[in-house]
Every structure is written in C-alpha cells, then in structure tokens.
Amino acid sequence: MIFQETFDTFKQTLLADSRTQLCEVSFGGGALVGLAEKSFASKLESFAREHRIGFKVNFLEASTQYVSSGRAFLKKSPDAKAEVVSEAIYGEEVRVYNKQGNFCRVATARDSYFGWMSVADLGHNVPPATHHFNAPRGHVFASPSVASERLFELAYGSFLHVVKQEGEWCKVELSRVKGYVRGSLLQASSEQSPVNAKAVIALATKFLEAPYVWGGTTAWGLDCSGLVQTVYGAYRISLPRDADQQAETGEVVGLEDVKAADLIFFPGHVALSLVGPKIIHANAQHMRVTIDDFEKTHYAKGLKEQITGVKRLLKGGTHET
C-alpha cells in the first residue's frame, strides 16, 4: 500500500494532463504494467530500476493517418455509445497509436488531444490539400450545380485537393469521392488571412445559431471551447481543446480592460468578448451559439458574476475594430 502511494505520487509528477498524454501504467504484481507513449520510457524505466521492481510496460509509437470522412468524433472509450470528447474534420492529420475492435486510439495533430476514432473514419491515401473550405458548413456536389446530388459534408477548414477550376466551381478530389465545390468558398492553403479582432469576431458570428453539441468543433454542432478553438485556428493561432486548458494560454487581462476577441472564462465555460458588455458563445442554456449581453438578461447577468478570468491572444493594434 505504501509503495502504491509512492508510485501514484510519481505518476502525478510524470503525467501533466491525460487528455494530451498517454500513460496508462499502474503497479501490480510487483511490476509496472500497462502502456504509454515512448516519451515516458526513460523515466518509467528509471523508476523501476530504482525501486527494483518488474517492468512490463508496452511503449506505443504513433503512425500518421488522416480523417477520410466529413467529420469524425473522438470518443472517450472504444465504444460507439461512448461520450464524445472532440471532433476532427476531413483531411485533418491524426497520430494513430493502437487499435481495439473497430476503433483506433488517436491524438489529433493540432492539439495532441487523445480519443478513440472509428477505423472507418481514417485513411492513409488522402489527396494533399491545396485549399481549405472557407464556409461554416457545406457540401461536395456531384456536378457543378447546387441542384445536383450532395456527395459529402464539409465543415469549416476541411482540407481539400483542387484538381481544376471550371468557371465558378472547382473540381475536388477526396479520398472517397470526386465532385464540385463553389470556388468562392475555398481559400488556398498558402494564403494567410490577416488576424485582428474584427476578423475574429466576424468569423465567430458566422457560427451563430449553430447547435450546441458536447465535444463538437464544427458548425454542424459544437461546444464552447470548440467554437473558440475553431475560430482562432482559422488564423493559425493554435489553442488547446478544452476551456480549462485554454484558460492557461494568452495574456492575463483585467475585467475592466476587456476588448473584442478576448477570451472570458467561467467555471467550465469560455466565451469570446464582443464590443461592450456582449459575448458570443456556444452554450447549453440556449443549446446553440448565441450573443448575450451581461446587462440585459437574468442568464447573462448571472454568468457575469461567475467570471474567473480573461485572457488576450491578440497583440498590439490587432484589437482595432
């Protein structure tokens, strides 16, 4: 029992966040057993040698695959009915660690967030991206006409390979289908949109009325931190997946100095600030993305009383609106 406590203390210092690190190791039968990322090897092996105990840990090395479906949910466990913890989009890179049944344990490359993804949502042969889909949601059509068959769902940021342009349409090649997307909804991957508060807020408002979905990151359904991560990610500002992780990023700002596009945090929740007392957020109160005013409704006034902090991601004059 005493040694178990020793190992538990050691593991707490080793494992900062199980959402972004893989170390499922325990002490049993006189040995360390389980599996972990290879980055933990030296410290775990040293611990075992120091305490003269057995060592039966399997270290996993990741391979690279890509999301081949329009949207892919990351589950908490390898079960179709398990809780959704995050979501990935078509063409997104993931690191694949091990397989169990019809699921693979993966970590999304953009935020190192772990979950279990259906094997059917993964592939190696995804055509290289030349463009990103630049609308909140949409479709790949069978022909260059909105009246044609919808072949595939697209979420904001989907990584697409454009074969050629045909008038107002672009022919795209995906891992499973070939079809057409309006050229006006695409942005070349090499292009970088200028980032400022006005741009961030303009993009966030495009997600207004999108359904609230726990674990979601797209306009088909998303949660509070999913909205923030997706919006800032569009400007290549990488954020962690969950609200408490996002609260550890950025510059601390006093409540009296809040500006547009700052992140406002509450217990288990995050919102984007707008001009004045308004915020935009995906919330379970309204079950959708809404704009709320701290001075207008009972709900918003109560929310303001629970503010735990404000963080700023944009620097200098980039807050001008």
Q: Which residues pair with 139 in a beta bridge?
A: 153
Catalytic residue list contains 131: no
Catalytic residue list contains 139: no
Residue 309 region by backbone torsions, left for phi larger than 0, else alpha for psi between -120 and 50, else beta: left
Q: Are 228 and 246 in contact (CB under 8 A)?
A: yes
Indicate the DSSP class of residue 316: G
Q: Are 281 and 269 in contact (CB under 8 A)?
A: yes
Q: Are 20 and 114 in contact (CB under 8 A)?
A: yes
Catalytic residue list contains 286: no
Q: Are 214 and 84 in contact (CB under 8 A)?
A: yes
Please state the φ and ψ torsions of residue 303, each to the nearest 5 degrees.
-65, -40
Rounded to a whole number of angstroms, the CA Rg of the chain reads 22
> Of 51, 132, 269, 286, which one is the catalytic site residue?
269
Helix, coil or strand: residue 272: strand
Indicate the DSSP class of residue 217: E
Q: In what order do the strands lie in the sheet with 23-28?
A: 23-28, 31-37, 54-60
Residue spans of alpha helices (H) in the chain = 2-14, 41-51, 197-205, 224-233, 243-246, 298-304
> Of 23, 124, 281, 319, which one is the catalytic site residue?
281
> Of 132, 170, 224, 286, which one is the catalytic site residue?
224
Residue spans of alpha helices (H) in 15-78 = 41-51
- Catalytic site positions: 224, 269, 281
